[in-house]
Amino acid sequence: MRLADDLACTEFVELVTEYWEGALAERDRERFEEHLAFCDWCRIYLSQMQTTLRVSGRLYENDLDPETADHLLEVFRDWKQE
Ligand SMILES: [Zn+2]
pLDDT tens for each residue of 10-47: 888 888 888 888 899 999 999 999 999 989 989 988 88
Question: What tens digit of pLDDT does each residue of 61-78 get?
Answer: 455 566 766 776 776 676
Q: How far is the CA of 39 from the centre of ligand 1 (A)?
A: 5
Confidence of residue 54 (pLDDT cuts 50, 70, 90): confident
Sign of CA dihedral 77, 47, 30, 64: negative
Going from the Cα of 26 to the center of ligand 1, the distance in angstroms, rounded, reads: 19
Measured CA to CA, the distance from residue 76 to residue 57 in angstroms comes to 21
| Surrounding residues of ion ligand 1, Cβ less than 5 A | 9, 12, 39, 41-42
- Residue 23 DSSP label: -
